[in-house]
Amino acid sequence: MIIDFHNHFYPKGYLDELKRGKGYASVETDRQGRLLIRYTGDYNVVVGPHLNLEDRIRAMDRYGVDIQVLTLTTPGVEREEPERGRRLAELANDGFARIVEKHHDRFTALATLPLQDPEAAAIELERAVKDCGLKGAMLLSNVNGQPLDLEKFLPVFEKAVKLDVPLHIHPTSPINYPAMDDFRLVPILGFGVDTTLSLLRLVFKGVLKRLPALKLVASHLGGVFPYLRGRIDTGFQAYPECKINISEPPSRYLKKVWADSICYDNNVFMSTYAFLGPNKIMLGTDFPHEISDLERSVGRIMELNIDDKEKERILGDNAAELLKL
């Protein structure tokens, strides 16, 4: 069974609410007639499979994907006013629940959470898992410029541990994005940087030490932390500030994190594979964004010079185990 852990969908209720209200995210049509969802630092081009399940299923069948783990995408709900954020999260999660109920053989989903209100986010995570049948949640890498390791967000991580569900850290406009505002450098560079910033702060703050059962998934093959792993551990040994909350090298905690396979380059993939191993990487496509890799994603894994059993783990077994499918 081939499972695409990282892809995106806009439930109808969520998109309709964006169109009706005025908030952080805006919906517009550009000169080319494309539907855009625009927000600070970036925008998304909305195409058929973002909205249409039949289009999506046809693409999955064409490229050999059996199941997709649906998630919302940027800009999410966490930068809206709290009441609107809670409303948008509920609409998105209810929409995902209906899709999963109707197409349980093709889709499961992760919840979106109103992290601008951490208490409400923890409550919504429990509702989404217990009442909606969702398999965890996707967290954007910062909340209105605030890092996820702040104490006020701890109840969300604690709730995930209690429910025994994963949290998928997905990038959004970086905390320090202005220099990336040109040339689409936010998605090209900023996303990987912000994912890693979020993850390293959680490690150095001691959140993974405090919650050893916490299951985190890092987008886009972990962002950039796999390539900095030597520098990260070396810095830990050199700088007293790094030892305030943890006493073991950061790599001990980073090796516990899952990652999806999106990187577009098999040489890059193999570097991360050497660090995380075959049991912590899951297939991802970023479908149907402009830089989706659905067409090549399965083939890239099949081409790797690794054991066939390891390919099976990456293509589906790891996700099935993590999500209890």
**Is a pLDDT exceeding 90 seen at residue 169?**
yes
Number of structural domains in the chain: 1
Is pLDDT above 70 for 139?
A: yes
Reported residue count of the chain is 325
- Is the separation of the CB atoms in 87 and 17 below 8 Å? yes
Confidence at residue 92, expressed as pLDDT on a 0 to 100 scale: 97
User: b/e for 256-265, b at 16 or more Cβ within 10 A?
Assistant: bbbbbbbbee
Contacts of 117 (CB under 8 A, 6+ apart): 82, 85, 86
Quote the pLDDT of residue 182: 63
CA distance 264 to 293: 7
Q: What is the CATH number of the domain that holds 78?
A: 3.20.20.140
pLDDT tens-digit map of 48-77: 899 899 999 999 999 999 999 999 988 889
Determine phi and psi for 79, rounding to 5 degrees: -100, 5
Q: Find the domain containing 121 and state its range.
A: 3-323
63-67, 177-181, 239-243: which has the highest mean pLDDT? Answer: 63-67
pTM of this structure: 0.93
